[in-house]
Structure 1
Amino acid sequence: MAELAHRQQQSTGPTVWVLATGVVQEPGEILGIYTERDLAIGDLIANAYKLTAHFPLTDTSGEMEDGTLHLAAGGEWLSLEPYPLITATQLA
């Protein structure tokens, strides 16, 4: 995983990991933004327990190649995704 993050940083610059939750078909809420994926795992697990407290998992993508994780239960979702951190003005 560290090698993947290093390759992403080389090709796109720094990466942040966004932990978010929401209801299917509606905008979500950001729970946290992390500089490293491993820093988000504890919060991901805690929120996954909340997500599955009343409903079983109905969908899980597993871990994707870029490290993204998606979970869904009872019409709600939880995700951890990498995003490039913009550190300079973007040119069109």
Structure 2
Amino acid sequence: MDTALDEWYINIINILAVLVPVLSSLGGISYWLEKKFTEIDQKFEDIDQRSRHIEERFKAIDQRFIEIDERFKKIDQRFEELN
């Protein structure tokens, strides 16, 4: 009976000897991946902010072209009135 108990004890020790380093490694990998994904999320947030800024600039430029177009139309109307 002692030999069966000893074998069971040895098997548990062997299993734990394998599981502890594997789980520790998985914990380290999980921490590293979380850190990397957080960095990637931050980079995408920065890119998103830049793209919003560029979009706002394009809207401002487009609005400026509309204003210039309206001025040219007014000038054209004045020339037509003079003729």
Relative CO higher for 1 or 2, CA cutoff 8 Å, sep ≥ 6? 1
Structure with larger Rg? 2
Q: Which is helix-richer, 1 or 2?
A: 2
Q: Which is strand-richer, 1 or 2?
A: 1
